[in-house]
Amino acid sequence: MGVLWKMVLVAGLCTGGYVGVREAAARLFFANPDYQVKTIELQTDGTLQREEMLKTADLHEGENIFSVNLAQIRDRLQQLPQADEVEVVRKLPNEIDIRIVERRPVAWITSETDITDPFASDAAFLVGRRGVLMKQKKLLPEYLGLPLILGCKTESLEQGKVIESPEAQTALELLRLTESSLLQTRFQIREIDISKSYYLLVTDKNHSRVMFALNDLEDQLRRLQVFLDYCDKTKQELETVNLVPQRNIPVTFTSPAASVINDTIAPAVEPRIMKAIPVHTLEARVRQDSGGHEPGAPAPKSRAASTPAPKAIRNQQKKAHKNNGEQ
């Protein structure tokens, strides 16, 4: 009985202690108005709006700061297509700080093969380095200069989805490699056509077209570097390069500007040289046809009545006088 009473006493003490501690914690922390959330500090480096972030996190002012599940809020915000890194910090007594590093779009991507304005197209999405598709509510002017990935037809494009096609992943890897190498200033990509399943057709800012295989991009970029160095030495510009074969690489160069201008401008029309007919030759022929006397002089009298000059002779006389006057 003594042991039993001791066990009951210990159990009572533990229960009382638990209830007391819980009640004290509720009054000191969970029910204490000093620990109600009064300040929610939101920081982002992109275009996310405060209302959108609070709605996604399901966080409101007035909640107890100890009842806020920080991990759950972080997971909710991480589901935003624009969010790349999320940090949630609890600052006693009544402040919660949220910092979001947004995904930076590196290109536009679309399933179409010909698009002029990705801003106005519903089929064009912004894509980040990790392949996450985004639809920004606020389009910044800097997005207009991003490269365009065309012809992504192997899978559907939806906001928040991670692109998985090998062609699109290779295109994103090519953009990353060109930005981190010395080719950034000499080979700036404007378009990448991935409609073919075995190569990428890349167009740079100088309208040079380069074909890349889907594997071993670093080796292909080294070969492209050799061609660019050759162009710098010879003062030429690349027109087309096929980097798919490892040997006997097909390459063409653009024509010089002077030859293009000369080919497009029509040659000047040479003036026609009109040869003058000597007047005396025509007058001698007229005299011969009229009997030997000067044209215009009175014909010698004869027994027969003088006949007027034929019509053809009169026309030749008029033409001769006219040519004489022009000269």
User: What's the length of the chain?
Assistant: 327
Per-residue pLDDT of the chain (327 residues; tens, 9 = 90+): 888 888 878 887 888 777 776 776 666 667 788 888 999 999 998 778 899 899 999 998 989 898 899 999 999 999 888 888 999 999 988 999 999 998 888 999 999 988 878 888 888 999 998 899 988 777 778 888 899 999 998 888 998 889 999 999 999 999 999 988 778 788 999 999 999 888 999 999 999 999 999 999 999 999 999 999 999 999 889 999 999 998 889 999 987 755 656 656 655 555 555 555 555 555 565 565 555 555 455 544 444 444 444 555 566 666 665 655 555
pLDDT of residue 305: 43
Residues 41 and 154 reside in one and the same domain: no
Residue ending a domain, choose from 81, 102, 123 = 102
Residue ending a domain, choose from 85, 102, 119 = 102
Residues 257 and 171 reside in one and the same domain: yes
Cis peptide before 93 (omega within 30 of 0): yes
Amino acid at 140: L
pLDDT of residue 181: 78
CATH number of the domain enclosing 210: 3.40.50.11690
Q: What is the DSSP string of 136-149?
A: -SS--GGGGGS-EE
Structure letter (DSSP) for residue 287: H
**CA–CA separation, 219 vs 213, rounded Å?**
10
Specify the residue for token string 């000093």.
Answer: 34
Residues 114 and 245 reside in one and the same domain: yes
291 in a structural domain = yes
Contact 244, 213 (CB under 8 A): yes
Residues 67 and 132 reside in one and the same domain: no
Q: Cβ atoms within 10 A of the Cβ of 68, count?
A: 16
Nearest to 108 by CA among 118, 100, 94: 118
pLDDT of residue 224: 93
Residue ending a domain, choose from 77, 102, 127 = 102
22 in a structural domain = no
Residues 252 and 125 reside in one and the same domain: yes
Whole-model pTM?
0.62
Residues 47 and 190 reside in one and the same domain: no
CATH number of the domain enclosing 89: 3.10.20.310
- Expressed as residue numbers, the domain containing 323 is 276-295+312-327
Contact 78, 130 (CB under 8 A): no
pLDDT of residue 25: 62
Structure letter (DSSP) for residue 182: G
Number of domains the chain contains: 3
Residues 87 and 168 reside in one and the same domain: no
**CA–CA separation, 158 vs 144, rounded Å?**
20
19 in a structural domain = no
Residues 281 and 237 reside in one and the same domain: no
Q: Any residues with CB less than 8 A from the CB of 268 and at least 6 apart, and which?
A: none
24 in a structural domain = no
Residues 114 and 208 reside in one and the same domain: yes
188 in a structural domain = yes
Tokens describing residue 241: 């390069």
30 in a structural domain = no
CA dihedral 9, 12, 16, 18 (to 10 degrees): 110
25 in a structural domain = no
286 in a structural domain = yes
Task: Pick left, alpha or beta for residue 126 (phi over 0 → left; psi -120 to 50 → alpha; otherwise beta).
Answer: beta
Would you call 103 exposed, middle or buried from its count of C-beta atoms within 10 A (0-12, 13-18, 19+)?
A: buried
Residues 197 and 259 reside in one and the same domain: yes
Tokens describing residue 50: 């405060």
Residues 287 and 255 reside in one and the same domain: no
> Which string of b and e fits 186-219 if b means at least 16 CB within 10 Å?
bbebebbbbeeeebbbbbbeeebbbbbbbeebee
Residues 171 and 226 reside in one and the same domain: yes
**CA–CA separation, 79 vs 230, rounded Å?**
48
> Which string of b and e fits 245-277 if b means at least 16 CB within 10 Å?
eeeebeeebeeeeeeeeeeeeeeeeeeeeeeee
